[in-house]
Each structure stands twice: as structure tokens, then as C-alpha cells.
């Protein structure tokens, strides 16, 4: 089992720390080739502008592991991490925490999609300075678990330094992030044990599955909170964006997984281009304004936002959404995917069953979504 490494505070999901659970698979292997040319920075593509642009993140490789009671490395404090941010999100049922990476001085940044998923507000804190800013989500790629942020009203920010060459197996590596939502950076060290790894992701509810491929595997003891943060090589250069960790209680059982930095930057290029694809969404999608869970092959509403499109339509807590625009809905994921294919202001037809068993249908004008 593999668990995503964002951190939740509050009662959003059971246990309050895991956003997504993964099962590893072997049937899909993705290429880790370098992506195409990326958005320009002063006339230079991002991949070139950030390539070994400075000395990187300063990891204390000689510190050794700092084991907790279960033997997992708690990591050593990182004091110098230019281009790394702490990401805090406001969710309908709690708060979320993760990590991110700054790509341009003007505030273009990336984190994991699952870090900002369902967020109504995103705040980032520059790790090295403690300065906090509001951020907006420019776009996201659910297939690769990447979200592109724009940090607002920030002065010229320190940016990341990357290495676009894939690491070698056996090479030392370190995941740097906001472990456990602690509010500061730590680094957990290990070595690269796999490339082009593939996993299947699930939020823990039936039928809510997605696939991540082309990942870097490391023995670093990644825990919740490291999501969206950098995986660095022995020179402190970013080679990947941490997204998941294997579930376990000992250092031998826990491994980390990261999206290669070239794949992450290719998503940035797609988002900046403004052209949506089957997996990349640009800007803000439409929403009904409900929280839904999967239960017995049905999408059951557990919360309706006051004043939302759903409330105006007549949807209430406990109702079951059967179909949207004629497409059958059997899970929360299906409902989200169908609705999010539409933009703000579009009209959709919803069919649902009330708690009393009455079958209803009606049209709803979609409101602005939080990040789904």
C-alpha cells in the first residue's frame, strides 16, 4: 500500500493525515524522457533557466536519521532551501498542508494536485523568510498529480535549482518538506531504488481510482506533509516533486515516490499555454456546491453549501445524485469528473433521489468551483 503525502488537519478524512491511498501496479511503465520546451523566463525556457541555477537546497547528509518511536526518520532541519514554499489550504471540512516549489521570481510555482484539491483558499509561506502570500491555482493535471500556482503580490522570489538529468539507481537522494504539517522544512535522506515506477491512486472510497506513472522511487522515509516538495540529488538539485509514500511502520517498509521534474515542468508548459486537455484543466471549473461521498455504488450528498447552485436546485443532504446530463453517476469521483468538464455559468441537468425516495430532475447553473 502507498499513501499520498499531503497532510490534513481536522476531520476531512479518517486519521486526519492521508489524502490518497495507492496500490502499486506493475502493468504500466511510463517514459521519463525530457519534456518539450517550457515557458520562457527572460527569453530562456524554464528548464534551462533553472538548470543548476544555484547551489540548491542545503541538506545535512552527515546528520544521519533521527528515528521516532517506530523507527521512521523524522528528518533533519533544513535552514537554506531557496525556492521552497509551505502550502496551506482551507477546505470545506478542515485545513490541508503540503509543500511547493517556486519556478519564477514572479511567483509561478508548483505543488501536488492533491494538496490543493477541494481547496477554497491557498496560502503559501516562503520557507527561508517566513513571508506569507495568497496563491491562486492556474491549472492542474490530475493524471500527473501536479497543480500550477500563481503567488500573488509577491516581490521577486528566490527560485528553485533543478537537474533535468534522471537520477541513477543507488544515487543518494533527499525529500524536503513540511513533514506532518510542522511549519518548517526537514529533509529525510535515502537512495534512489527505482525509475519509471507506476502506482494506482485511491482516495479510500470505492471507485475513486487514478494512476500515476513514471515515478522515481527512493528509500527516504517520506511522511504526510512532504507532498509537492522537492526530491533532491546529492548536490541539492531538484530532480522530482514528492507525491507519495509506501505505507508502513518501519524505515524498511516506507519508501517515497516523486514525479520527475521534467514531467512537472511539462505540465507547467501546458497550463501556461492556456489549452486544456483530457487531464489538464485551466483556471476555475464549474461546481454545484456539494460535498459527496461514494456509498454502495451511489453518490450521496453529505453537505450542501448555503446559497449554492445545488441548494437553489433543491438538492439536500442525504440525496443521491443518479445522473448528470444523461450520464449515470455511481460515485463521488464520477460526479466530480462530469461536473468539472463544464465551465462556470454552464447549465447542466441533474437527476437525483431524495431521502424520502422521490425521484427528481432539474437544471442548475454552475457556480465557480473550489479546486476540484
The residues annotated with a catalytic role in the active site are 114, 145, 227
Give the CA count within 13 Å in the CB-facing half-sphere of 21: 13
C-beta separation of 50 from 103 below 8 A: yes
> Residue 52: which region, alpha, beta or left (left: phi > 0; alpha: psi -120 to 50)?
left
3-state secondary structure of 221: coil
Burial of 169 (0-12, 13-18, 19+ CB in 10 A): exposed
Phi and psi, residue 125, nearest 5° = -125, 125
What's the rounded Cα separation, in Å, for the pair 167 and 216? 8
C-beta separation of 232 from 56 below 8 A: yes
DSSP one-letter code for 257 = E
- Grid cell, residue 192, equals 534512489
What's the rounded Cα separation, in Å, for the pair 112 and 148? 8
What's the rounded Cα separation, in Å, for the pair 370 and 309? 13
Report CA torsion sign: 40, 46, 52, 55: positive
What's the rounded Cα separation, in Å, for the pair 368 and 360? 24
DSSP one-letter code for 114 = H
Amino acid at each position: 500500500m502507498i499513501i499520498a503525502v499531503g497532510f490534513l488537519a481536522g476531520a476531512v478524512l479518517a486519521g486526519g493525515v492521508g489524502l490518497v491511498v495507492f496500490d502499486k501496479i506493475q502493468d504500466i511503465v511510463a517514459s521519463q524522457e525530457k519534456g518539450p520546451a517550457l515557458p520562457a523566463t527572460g527569453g530562456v525556457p524554464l528548464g534551462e533557466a533553472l538548470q543548476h541555477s544555484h547551489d540548491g537546497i542545503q541538506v545535512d547528509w552527515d546528520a544521519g536519521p533521527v528515528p521516532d518511536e517506530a523507527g521512521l526518520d523524522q528528518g533533519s532541519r533544513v535552514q537554506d532551501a531557496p525556492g521552497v514554499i509551505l502550502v496551506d489550504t482551507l477546505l470545506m471540512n478542515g485545513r490541508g498542508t503540503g509543500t511547493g516549489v517556486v519556478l519564477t521570481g514572479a511567483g509561478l510555482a508548483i505543488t501536488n494536485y492533491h494538496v490543493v484539491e477541494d481547496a477554497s483558499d491557498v496560502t503559501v509561506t516562503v520557507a527561508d523568510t517566513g513571508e506569507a502570500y495568497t496563491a491562486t491555482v492556474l491549472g492542474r493535471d490530475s493524471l500527473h498529480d501536479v497543480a500550477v500556482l500563481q503567488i500573488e503580490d509577491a516581490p521577486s522570489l528566490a527560485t528553485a535549482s533543478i537537474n533535468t538529468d534522471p537520477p541513477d539507481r543507488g544515487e543518494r537522494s533527499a525529500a524536503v518538506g513540511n513533514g506532518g504539517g510542522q511549519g518548517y522544512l526537514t529533509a529525510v535522506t535515502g537512495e534512489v531504488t527505482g525509475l519509471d515506477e507506476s502506482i494506482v491512486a485511491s482516495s479510500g472510497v470505492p471507485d475513486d481510482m487514478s494512476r500515476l506513472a513514471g515515478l522515481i522511487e527512493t528509500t527516504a522515509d517520506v511522511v504526510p506533509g512532504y507532498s509537492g516538495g522537492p526530491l533532491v540529488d546529492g548536490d541539492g538539485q531538484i530532480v522530482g516533486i514528492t507525491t507519495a509514500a509506501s505505507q508502513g511502520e518501519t524505515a524498511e517498509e516506507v519508501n517515497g515516490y516523486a514525479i520527475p521534474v521534467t514531467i512537472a515542468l511539462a505540465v507547467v508548459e501546458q497550463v501556461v499555454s492556456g489549452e486544456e486537455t483530457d487531464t489538464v484543466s485551466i483556471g476555475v471549473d464549474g461546481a454545484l456546491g456539494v460535498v459527496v461521498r461514494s456509498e454502495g455504488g451511489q453518490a450521496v450528498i453529505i453537505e450542501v453549501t448555503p446559497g449554492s447552485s445545488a441548494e437553489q436546485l433543491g438538492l439536500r443532504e442525504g440525496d443521491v445524485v443518479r445522473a448528470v446530463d444523461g450520464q449515470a453517476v455511481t460515485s463521488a469521483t464520477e460526479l466530480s469528473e462530469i461536473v468539472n468538464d463544464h465551465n462556470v455559468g454552464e447549465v447542466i441537468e441533474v437527476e437525483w433521489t431524495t431521502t424520502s425516495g422521490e425521484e427528481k430532475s432539474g437544471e442548475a447553473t454552475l457556480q465557480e468551483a473550489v479546486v476540484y
